[in-house]
Chain A
């Protein structure tokens, strides 16, 4: 629910409750006030009647006086006034009116000229009630109008005032720490939004600078590591040349040497990843994937023959504009991946078309989650020679080129496909 919707809803409920309470109060208060006024009128009428009786004015306007019975004569003391609401049947012949009407009635007992009188005066309440209803309905209409006005105002505010907010949220969604450009935010006159923008700007700047520092650091660290590694390696190689080392020493040297080699390979690969991430391979040229694939197939010939792998290829002459080093690394990694995880007497099929590059190979069933496949250091095999970075490099290269990388596996046939379009998904059939 949007903020504006949420506040509007609260307003609506509050208005309804307030309206109900105020309508009730209005009815009660108006009724009391009107009755008071009516009672005053009735009292006045009674006084007029009493005076007329007192001074023997005719009472022609009124009903014929009736004799009071004994009981009623002394039921109430003198000057008793009783008010009550009563229903009286109103019957007007010819107009077809035959209904009960509410009346306010005053009953007074008085002794005039030594005769005890009961004076009854009535006034219709119908007009008063109509009046009250008119007030209630009109206040209802006013509230409805108010709500409509509020809604229109809210919509307008949400369009106008919240516009920079929503725009900036969208920009934030599309923000990537890898961007070199600082985030551009829409200006607003609202102080809170200005503060928010300021905070976002500081935060993203910090993020970007931290990220680029990190990248720079990992690249520099890798570089700096190359020299000591080179020293280590060269010293061991020199040591190996000496004639007086026994087998045990030689084996230990070998372990050190191999660990050093692994470290330097890891270092080189991480450096490559960092460089790809840092977009250091941005120069583009026309690349023939067909040539690259043929070249790499020749390079890996021994490995293919060793496992007696059958290679099927379907390569188009299509040219793609990209960085040649990245393209070469991509093909080499895809091919080495499909050889490494292949079985003896397996097959590799390579298809390159205008918009896709597909490598499929036979192999053991994938253990573990395919989601993790492209993560660094997630390896399937416990093989020593596998660094677990091959697929991460493939992914990274696809990412910087905005190519889509898909993995799927069906009947022990693993397929990695690169679509020369955007976004990445992983599918496991």
Chain B
């Protein structure tokens, strides 16, 4: 998968690229409108992550350019402005998703992955992690081939973990992924624990391994490598 990240803040750009790079993505970076324009015209990308406020031009124009070049390219807009106008305008012009700053890298990764899944809908795309297999189109999960019943939250949780496997996920990022970033409740961390416990039990019941590791109260890690 080839990804172009357009972001004028070099530090943020590096963080994004470094987080996504580990996920078997080839990341290319552009820090200006001019730079990005050049790359979009010259190469073919599967995904373009686009900051719409660039110092030398509008990301909206780049979005039009991307869609002209290759309509199959998925575009994820990143903006510091949480304004609906920008969002609607972006989505109207063919952007596939919208994320506002500041965001969790894990959330960005999850959005990019879900975008890729939606783009490549033709093939039977399964998400697999050892004995666990997730079918995103039907939202069915099997462990060792046996289906398990998951609640909506548990399913989202599992998918979030698998997409961000081998990464430490903070409680805050998980809570935001499950309940949205408008929720401001301390209790949400307790629920993560509850949902996690249920998920673990359901997987274990069908002979699945326990991949969930607790990281010093910071968060969790879904991994099959031992500490």
List the interface of chain A (C-beta within 8 A of B): 223-224, 226-227, 229-235, 237-238, 240-241, 247, 250-251, 253-254, 257-258, 261, 264-265, 268, 271-272, 275, 280, 299-300, 302-303, 306-307, 325, 329, 332, 336, 339-340, 383-387, 390
Contact = CB atoms under 8 A, between A and B. Distances in A.
Given A223-B80, A226-B102, A340-B185, A234 B216 contact: no
Interface stretch (B10-18, B26-34, B54-62, B155-163): B10-18
Given A231-B9, A238-B105, A254-B218, A336 B185 contact: yes
B180 interface: yes
Contacts, number: 112
Given A234-B102, A299-B179, 12 more contacts: A226-B102, A230-B12, A231-B9, A237-B170, A240-B215, A251-B217, A265-B184, A268-B181, A303-B191, A336-B184, A384-B186, A385-B185
B218 A250 contact: yes
A233 B218 contact: no
B83 interface: yes
Contacts of B167: 241
Nearest to B173: A237
Interface in B68-91: 80-84
A386 B188 contact: no
A387 B186 CA distance: 12
A238 B81 CA distance: 24
B190 interface: yes
B11 A241 contact: no
Nearest to A246: B216
A299 B185 CA distance: 12
Interface residues of B, number: 42
State the majority secondary structure of interface residues on A.
helix
15 contacts: A227-B80, A230-B102, A231-B12, A232-B102, A233-B103, A241-B168, A257-B218, A261-B172, A275-B83, A299-B180, A302-B191, A329-B182, A332-B182, A340-B185, A383-B186
Contact of B216 (A231, A235, A251, A383): A251
A386 B184 contact: yes
Given A231-B12, A231-B15, A238-B19, A303 B188 contact: yes
A196 B162 CA distance: 71
Contacts of A325: 84
A419 B185 CA distance: 27
Interface string B17-60: 01100000000000000000000000000000000000000000
A231 B83 CA distance: 20
A302 B153 contact: yes
B140 to A, nearest CB: 22
B12 A234 contact: yes
Interface string B167-206: 1101011000001111111111011000000000000000
